[in-house]
Structure 1
């Protein structure tokens, strides 16, 4: 084995993939820059670019490490001799450095992800009509229920980390796939022989990566092909709940970019008794009522939103009175005024957003269109060429979101990023301790800590941005 050639090829692969990663980081920064409405490249823009580079380089380091390890396992396992460990030590040290750096960079990327998802603007729009012309007669419980359902799916993932790690240990320690990494040619997977020599680190990395990847793919396919179709799809269930509750969700993940989930009930009112609810569902099932979509005779409920500066200023101003008064001390000193401001702020924002969707605000009109093929590829929405002088003045746009891009505000939509981080954590611990069991335990603990942080920050942000008291989010 020519270690120098493998060492050089590893560095070349890292350099080539890093170059492509820089281009990808530039594209992501450009999209963020545009959606944030910035006019110049400032420090936050440079900071975003660096953070995107960190995440991409962390992924590149994992791919290079895994690729080199798998190649060595396939090519050199059968050619193993006593000089192998001496020859491979320099390459193993390089891959060890790669994994350490990858873990640091990807952990920073996950922190960045949590901050992004925990600082979005979100509001629950209530379409329910007040009874007897009393705007305060509308019950808030439907809004609270929808908010709690959204709070529950913030950290939901298609790949269950606990179950995956259990499968990994089952394959590696019970089925003895770990034996392949032993420094003995005659040791096989189902061999009853005990590995009397040390495990080759580069082989352990390859086996660990392949096992993690295989178990994740199996779990992902089972979820997408079977579970979400025949048992439960949490995302679709939440959208259905919004329609049944007469609640829409307006989300802004950037200054001028976000998502809209249309939950307006075709029956007008949903704060009714059990008999009326069942009757409404029966009418929908038998096509005896209107559709749930935003447009006439349409079932499209999910949209990507691009708004202008005027809309954003109005949206922020409606929160201003509440934010100026908000605080535990002020609430204790004048609870009555606090609750009045809270209610008034919620109602004003609800009226504004419902009026916007209903086309009843002439100064805040919008148009709806499908995304072009290139827009779907880049996951970026361009300004459509105007069809008339009137449309040319409208720069609030709604794009049909058939791909459910709004899940990017949840862990659900960032599955690949989180999965890569879990793999890096597992391999990072194993390359230091050479113990798959310890790697699985620490991976589980670290993942649970970050899930807890995301839960806490997400719940706090949900309460702040939706004007729902935190003690009602369970």
Structure 2
């Protein structure tokens, strides 16, 4: 037994002056721990290696790993369950005194040196060593695995078991020196930690199951990553909040809000959730990957696997990241299924009809259209409905590839705590949740990048590009697409033919302009006209009161009475046919409702075509290229004194604007959601297959909900009969 005040000195003594190696061919790649065996009377019975049958408490461990148990820097854990009768009958009382055997570098004759290994007894059967303070520990030099002496008495020649004491948990804790010159890969004296438990005679007779465990763990001075992760989260989150402020400012301008209100605060919260989720995941995944790569490639011990505290923090960050990402994904889908969408039919009628009295402030009259073939808008609507939930990759194919890489090809074995990356599938070597995160994340992102590049540069370029195909369909059908995702912001896809009919090539919005997709920054005047006409399209529905998201009347340009009167007259001055339809609606029900909705659609189409043809003097627009900052941060740098609607095009991509209203344009948000979910389920359940299945089920559920709601919104906003949408 050591003295009461010797614990710290014994545990941090630098007597073992040998540098162990991570090279498997080196003789110092293993720790050589032996034990002197004595019986209860003090008779020496010889020496035993650690992995021999006399040293380890689990009978099954003797055939498990042999000398690989003490491979340097590799954690090990083995659990077993043994019947009480078997344990009692096969055990004997042997006292062990452990030593570590090595050859001192300063020794001239290579004489082996034995250094005593201290033992710490803990558990419910002892009343000391409860504190975590090393200075209060009482260390000893010897221990036993089974006690069949003190708790067993002989009554009339019959053994009576009062208690049978055994070591239910043994841990060899090895601490690696880190500080100081030349201290790399050197160790302090190892420490045996033993927990004892007892069995009664009834337990032995009933043959209860006894759980036993043996572990080898390595520690490194000052190796915790918690402080670094906390600093990294704070730094990255600060940039995330700054970007959140920029996003909120941009979106509030799209709403027409000049100050702060409850809706602005809600948008700030949603943007913050997405940015903070990315911050937490970047830190946890980055720390795990850094530790994983360094640990697998190091030749000298610079880093050990994350500690239990590190793993707890990493798992907490993953849970927080996924929880925050849920809000962002729900908010994006909610915006997409509530956009205002209109089809602008450029097809010329065969003959003019009655004039409809829609008068703008410039007294410009809009005329009604003759009946046109209905197949073109319906065809465009079906094509749009098909691409609403389309993504840049196939998620089921991606998840199958991940399972093959992790389970079939053995990449999951990388998570074993150790230096080399190998395909050893032994469950006895400890797997780190942090390494599971690193391995699953690296495989997920690597395979995703490969599939994404194949999709963008091979499949979409040479086989099929659904987005460009949709744009071509609009041009063939002579139909343009207007999408408003905010009161003062939206997207425009130009599909107008250069001729009166659709059987010809497409043209740009302006002569000489080859771009067809634009972002729109609306003026309050334009949105007011459009909103009032849109109310005709929903009979007995709830009108979108976008004015609640606008600035106060003092901050908006004044609309003169002629403008308001012109819009109000749209419902009254549509000629005899309009009055006849109103009468039919009052008397005949559904047919008149359909006529009313069709008439409202004609009004909107006439208004938008006149607007795009610059036929409305007080409602005009201009076209310009997006600035660099506008492209990078997805904002509009518009002068507040400019009361013209802006059509902004991006020279780097003709179809990049309106994609943000469908899943295809939100790929980063969706794939990070899939990644966070996959990693969370994996580190929680420990199964890559379960993680893939849960991710696939959640994706399919979201896709079905998004497709259903998007289809409803499309039918409602465009007046296309839902029964014709495939």
Pair in the same fold by TM > 0.5: yes
Please give the alpha-carbon distance, in whole angstroms, between the structure 2 residues aligned to 1:103 and 1:3: 30
- Evaluate the alpha carbon distance shift between residue 217 and residue 186 of structure 1 in structure 2; reply closer, same or farther with a 3 A threshold: closer
Please give the alpha-carbon distance, in whole angstroms, between the structure 2 residues aligned to 1:384 and 1:23: 23
The alpha-carbon deviation at position 426 of structure 1 amounts to 0.3
- Evaluate the alpha carbon distance shift between residue 101 and residue 333 of structure 1 in structure 2; reply closer, same or farther with a 3 A threshold: farther
Q: What are the within-5 Å matches in structure 2 for residues 309-328 of structure 1? A: 309-326=524-541
Q: Partner of 2:464 in structure 1? A: 232
| Structure 2 counterpart SS, 1:413 | helix
Higher relative contact order (CA 8 A, sep 6+): 1
Alignment of 1:28 with 2:243, yes or no, is no
| 1:388-407 deviation per Cα after TM superposition (whole angstroms, max 9, x unaligned) | xxxx7642111123331221
The alpha-carbon deviation at position 317 of structure 1 amounts to 0.6
Q: Partner of 2:597 in structure 1? A: 342
| 1:232-272 deviation per Cα after TM superposition (whole angstroms, max 9, x unaligned) | 111111111100000000111111111111101123212xx
Per the normalisation by structure 1, the TM-score is 0.89
| 1:170-218 deviation per Cα after TM superposition (whole angstroms, max 9, x unaligned) | 11011101111123556604x5x64433422111110000000000100
Q: What are the within-5 Å matches in structure 2 for residues 59-74 of structure 1? A: 59-74=278-293
Q: Partner of 1:449 in structure 2? A: 701
| Structure 2 counterpart SS, 1:303 | strand
In the alignment, structure 2 segments of 5+ residues that lack a partner are 1-219, 354-368, 543-584
Q: Match for 1:292 among 507, 518, 527? A: 507
Of the structure 1 ranges 401-410 and 172-181, higher mean CA displacement relative to structure 2 is found in 401-410
Alignment of 1:248 with 2:483, yes or no, is no
Q: Match for 2:637 among 374, 382, 394? A: 382
Q: Partner of 2:389 in structure 1? A: 155
- Evaluate the alpha carbon distance shift between residue 336 and residue 312 of structure 1 in structure 2; reply closer, same or farther with a 3 A threshold: same
| Structure 2 counterpart SS, 1:314 | helix
Q: Match for 1:75 among 287, 294, 298? A: 294
| Structure 2 counterpart SS, 1:325 | coil
Please give the alpha-carbon distance, in whole angstroms, between the structure 1 residues aligned to 2:419 and 2:259: 61
Alignment of 1:426 with 2:678, yes or no, is yes
Please give the alpha-carbon distance, in whole angstroms, between the structure 2 residues aligned to 1:322 and 1:187: 64
Q: How many residues get paired? A: 445
Q: Partner of 1:471 in structure 2? A: 723
Q: Match for 1:39 among 258, 261, 264? A: 258
| 1:9-51 deviation per Cα after TM superposition (whole angstroms, max 9, x unaligned) | 0111111111111001111111100111013200000011011
Q: Partner of 2:375 in structure 1? A: 141
Q: Partner of 2:333 in structure 1? A: 114
The alpha-carbon deviation at position 103 of structure 1 amounts to 1.2
| 1:126-182 deviation per Cα after TM superposition (whole angstroms, max 9, x unaligned) | 011112335342012110110110111111111211111011011101110111112
Please give the alpha-carbon distance, in whole angstroms, between the structure 2 residues aligned to 1:45 and 1:393: 24
User: Are the equivalent residues in 1 in contact too, given 2:223–2:304 (CA < 8 A)?
Assistant: no
Alignment of 1:218 with 2:447, yes or no, is no
Please give the alpha-carbon distance, in whole angstroms, between the structure 1 residues aligned to 2:352 and 2:440: 65
Please give the alpha-carbon distance, in whole angstroms, between the structure 1 residues aligned to 2:317 and 2:642: 52
| 1:344-387 deviation per Cα after TM superposition (whole angstroms, max 9, x unaligned) | 110000000011001111121111111222322332222269xx
Q: Partner of 1:274 in structure 2? A: none
| Structure 1 counterpart SS, 2:534 | helix
Of the structure 1 ranges 148-157 and 399-408, higher mean CA displacement relative to structure 2 is found in 399-408
Please give the alpha-carbon distance, in whole angstroms, between the structure 2 residues aligned to 1:467 and 1:320: 12
More strand by share: 2
Q: Partner of 2:433 in structure 1? A: 201
The alpha-carbon deviation at position 77 of structure 1 amounts to 4.2
Please give the alpha-carbon distance, in whole angstroms, between the structure 1 residues aligned to 2:588 and 2:291: 69
Q: Match for 1:373 among 628, 631, 650? A: 628
Q: Partner of 2:12 in structure 1? A: none
Please give the alpha-carbon distance, in whole angstroms, between the structure 2 residues aligned to 1:318 and 1:405: 25
User: Are the equivalent residues in 2 in contact too, given 1:3–1:91 (CA < 8 A)?
Assistant: no
User: Are the equivalent residues in 2 in contact too, given 1:62–1:102 (CA < 8 A)?
Assistant: yes
| Structure 2 counterpart SS, 1:90 | helix
| Structure 2 counterpart SS, 1:359 | coil
- Evaluate the alpha carbon distance shift between residue 97 and residue 295 of structure 1 in structure 2; reply closer, same or farther with a 3 A threshold: same
| 1:418-438 deviation per Cα after TM superposition (whole angstroms, max 9, x unaligned) | 111101000000111000010
Please give the alpha-carbon distance, in whole angstroms, between the structure 2 residues aligned to 1:326 and 1:373: 42
User: Are the equivalent residues in 1 in contact too, given 2:389–2:664 (CA < 8 A)?
Assistant: yes
| Structure 2 counterpart SS, 1:113 | helix
User: Are the equivalent residues in 2 in contact too, given 1:367–1:394 (CA < 8 A)?
Assistant: no
- Evaluate the alpha carbon distance shift between residue 63 and residue 2 of structure 1 in structure 2; reply closer, same or farther with a 3 A threshold: farther
- Evaluate the alpha carbon distance shift between residue 326 and residue 336 of structure 1 in structure 2; reply closer, same or farther with a 3 A threshold: farther
Please give the alpha-carbon distance, in whole angstroms, between the structure 2 residues aligned to 1:136 and 1:115: 37
Of the structure 1 ranges 374-383 and 312-321, higher mean CA displacement relative to structure 2 is found in 374-383
In the alignment, structure 1 segments of 5+ residues that lack a partner are 271-276, 285-290, 386-391
Question: Root-mean-square deviation (CA), in Å?
Answer: 2.4
| Structure 2 counterpart SS, 1:132 | coil
Q: Partner of 1:105 in structure 2? A: 324
- Evaluate the alpha carbon distance shift between residue 361 and residue 349 of structure 1 in structure 2; reply closer, same or farther with a 3 A threshold: same
Per the normalisation by structure 2, the TM-score is 0.59
| Structure 2 counterpart SS, 1:156 | coil
Which structure has the larger Rg over C-alpha atoms?
Answer: 2
User: Are the equivalent residues in 2 in contact too, given 1:181–1:199 (CA < 8 A)?
Assistant: yes
- Evaluate the alpha carbon distance shift between residue 214 and residue 332 of structure 1 in structure 2; reply closer, same or farther with a 3 A threshold: farther
Please give the alpha-carbon distance, in whole angstroms, between the structure 1 residues aligned to 2:420 and 2:257: 63
Please give the alpha-carbon distance, in whole angstroms, between the structure 1 residues aligned to 2:602 and 2:491: 21
Alignment of 1:182 with 2:416, yes or no, is yes
Q: Partner of 1:273 in structure 2? A: none
